[in-house]
């Protein structure tokens, strides 16, 4: 899959069906030795999630469909915003 195809997808929480964000608006954690994507770092939108970031490990991705990426956030902690944009 090309990055341009991945970037257009919305990230959906498997647990409650909520939209977390878009892959295109997220940061990727890439292993410099292998080039593999290790995680997606998302800053959710909305008042209640300000200043929080979620690092979604690649293994938490359950499905990638034509329009959405379904992720299981059961064991994924929110992390404080590092100030990066």
Alpha carbon distance 61, 74 (integer Å): 11
Tokens of 62: 């359950």
Q: Are 53 and 82 in contact (CB under 8 A)?
A: yes
pLDDT recorded at residue 43: 81
pLDDT recorded at residue 51: 62
Alpha carbon distance 77, 55 (integer Å): 8
CATH architecture of the region 3-80: Roll (2.30)
Overall size of the chain counted in residues: 85
Per-residue pLDDT of the chain (85 residues; tens, 9 = 90+): 677 788 889 999 998 898 888 888 899 899 999 999 899 998 876 655 566 788 999 999 999 999 999 999 887 766 544 444 4
pLDDT recorded at residue 47: 52
Q: Where are the domains of the chain?
A: 3-80
Alpha carbon distance 62, 4 (integer Å): 20
pLDDT recorded at residue 34: 95
Q: Are 14 and 62 in contact (CB under 8 A)?
A: yes
Q: Alpha-carbon torsion 77, 45, 1, 74, what sign? A: positive
């Amino acid at each position: 899959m090309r990055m341009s195809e991945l970037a257009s997808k919305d990230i959906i929480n498997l647990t409650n069906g909520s939209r977390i964000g878009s892959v295109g608006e997220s940061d990727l954690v890439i292993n410099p030795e292998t080039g593999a994507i290790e995680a997606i770092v998302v800053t959710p939108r909305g008042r209640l999630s300000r200043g929080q970031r979620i690092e979604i490990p690649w293994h938490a991705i359950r499905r990638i469909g034509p329009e959405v990426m379904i992720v299981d956030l059961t064991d994924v902690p929110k992390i404080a915003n590092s100030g990066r944009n």
